[in-house]
Amino acid sequence: MRTLRQPAQVVPTITFPLFLLAINAGGLDAATDIPGFPTDSYLTFALAVPFIQSGIFAVSNGGADLARDIETGFLDRLALTPMSGVALVTGQLAGVVALGLLNAVVYLGVGLAAGATLEAGLAGALVLLVLSLVIVFAFGCVGVYAAFRFGNGEAVQGLFPLLFVFLFLSSMALPRDLIEQDWFRTIATYNPVSYLIEGVRSLFIVGFDGQALALAFGCGTAIGAVFLALAVGRLRTRLVRT
């Protein structure tokens, strides 16, 4: 509820990715003429990116709210309840996940209305929504861990540009096999964000690509599991009853 009641958290997560999508779709449409480019529509190709940006916003949205709870001492009050650490962490992410679902529906609707195609059809749309929730949950866990680790909102917000670095140094703008610079292609290959993007993108361009979807779900699940475990461990430190 807290997340959805803050327009400053909701509006930018919808408008900013769509604006960048519009600019990139018009600015890079010529890239579809490069031999080997997988689609004729750069809009369809780039539509995967807002779903990842939604995840990046989840880091600051989820983490900042929790950091505020830590700073105000509300988390200490929660320590008096019998609530388990996992339940507390996942509860914090409920708002972020709900916002992620709203964002995913909006991005999909706007993208299709603007002329993008979804080769995977209705079933693919459902898979897309599930994958986007996995991505948002994973990044939300990163934000929660950062909140527990640093204990203040400014530090959590400081992760935002770092995550944008991960986004830009990926297969965000071109397919990995068309990236000309070897060093950039290597970075993109080791960057888990590339697999998240490619999984979402495969639903729009190819249909059901088992390998791409497996890698995307795998990376998202792994990121979420690792940072959820780290967050719960960190929470135990913060909630030591004295």
Partner 1 sequence: MAVAWRNLHNFFTNPALIVPALLFPLFFFTAFAGGLSRVAGAPGFDFAGDYTAFQFVFVLLQASAFGGVFTGFAMARDFESGFGRRMLLSAPNRLGILAGYAIAAVARAVFIWVLLTAIALAVGMGVGGNAVDLLGLYALAGIVSFAALMWAAGVALRIRSVQAGPLMQTPVFLIIFLAPVYVPIDLLSGWVESAARVNPVTAIIEASRGFISGAETDVLAAFGAAAGMALALVVWAVTGLRRAEAAGG
Could you tell me the two tokens for 129?
């929504």
Shortest distance, CB of residue 84 to partner 1, whole angstroms? 38
Contact indicator for 236, 85 with CB cutoff of 8 Å:
yes
For 190, residues 6+ apart whose C-beta sits below 8 A from its C-beta are: none
Q: Is 161 a binder of partner 1 (CB under 8 A)?
A: yes
**Nearer residue to partner 1 within complex by CB, 4 or 31:** 31
Shortest distance, CB of residue 172 to partner 1, whole angstroms? 8
Q: Is 179 a binder of partner 1 (CB under 8 A)?
A: yes
Residue 23, amino acid: I
Shortest distance, CB of residue 181 to partner 1, whole angstroms? 5
Q: Is 178 a binder of partner 1 (CB under 8 A)?
A: yes
Q: Which of 79, 94, 102, 169 binds partner 1 (CB under 8 A)?
A: 169
| Nearest alpha carbon to residue 198 among 175, 226, 177 | 175
Q: Is 208 a binder of partner 1 (CB under 8 A)?
A: no
Residue identified by tokens 């009641």 is 5
Residues 74-93: x/- map of binding to partner 1 (CB under 8 A)?
Answer: --------------------
Three-state secondary structure string covering 17-68: HHHHHHHHHHHCHHHHHCCCCCCCCHHHHHCHHHHHHHHHHHHHHHHHHHHH
Number of residues that bind partner 1 (CB under 8 A): 26
Write out the residues near partner 1 by the rule CB under 8 A.
22-31, 33-34, 161, 165, 168-169, 172-174, 178-181, 183-184, 188
